[in-house]
Copies of this chain bind each other. A is one copy, B any other.
Amino acid sequence: MKHFDAPILDWNYANQHDWCCEHSMSQSPIDIDTSTLEPMMDMGKLQLTYSRTVDTIFDTGSAIQGLATGTANINNRFFNLQQFHFHTHSEHKIDGKLSDAELHFVHEAQNGRLAVLGVFLIEGAHNETLQTLLDAVNTNKSIHNVYLYDLLPKISDYYHYLGSLTTPPLTENVEWYLFKETVEISAKQIQTLKHFHANNARHTQPLNGRKVLFKSFNKNS
């Protein structure tokens, strides 16, 4: 990713209005090849403080999206929670494999940097918090006593890379943190999500030389 070492093409300061710009070289989602991960050297700690009230949850036309407030301290920087939403099936792949669904918590830092925490949802036990949310879709009501952490895994080891939003405007400058541990939701809940959007998942995009890091908080690993 040493872009500044790229060969100098036919440009100079006089023709700078014609300089070509990079286009979409760091897009999301991606297929994560776990054989090529690099251990993340930064501390990489995640501390989430999400409100227990979801202000509203609705169908945007592209996804079921909830609005809630909260902060995420990610690797020692503060981000504000903006919204969370669901994709069925998952957008990211792990070693070529999709999950049943993927939940994205979207955050923005003071400088405009975006960070998304991604959770892979797989068929298994019923998730009561998800059910509370699903029952409230498009009711235009606030939902209280929602423990969003029930939609996050217990172990916070994650894959990290730099990418983009996965829907237009596909803004780059997005930090991705995808939890390795999956969260179970029931087959019926997957069907409910699919009832709204059977396939709201962007195709995986080329890595173009980006590194994917893995952060493990297990001191023995």
Binding site for B on A (CB under 8 A): 1-6, 8-9, 11-13, 16, 19-24, 26-27, 38, 40-43, 60-62, 75-78, 82-83, 106, 108-114, 160-162, 165, 167-173, 175, 199-203, 210-211, 213
B76 touches A110 (CB 8 A): no
B22 touches A170 (CB 8 A): yes
Tell me the bound Cα distance from A60 to B4 in angstroms. Answer: 11
Binding site secondary structure of chain A? loop
A213 touches B19 (CB 8 A): no
When A and B form their complex, which 10 residue pairs have the shortest distance between CB atoms, in order from nearest? A76-B76, A1-B112, A3-B171, A21-B24, A22-B169, A21-B170, A19-B168, A42-B77, A11-B168, A3-B169
B172 touches A9 (CB 8 A): no
A203 touches B16 (CB 8 A): yes
Tell me the bound Cα distance from A6 to B168 in angstroms. Answer: 8
Query: Which residues from B are CB-within-8-Å of A83?
Result: 4
A16 touches B202 (CB 8 A): yes
Q: Considering only CB atoms, which chain B residue lies closest to A6 in the complex?
A: B169
A210 touches B112 (CB 8 A): yes
Taking a contact as CB atoms closer than 8 A, the residue among B40, B161, B200 that contacts A13 in the complex is B200
B169 touches A41 (CB 8 A): no
B169 touches A13 (CB 8 A): no
A211 touches B111 (CB 8 A): yes
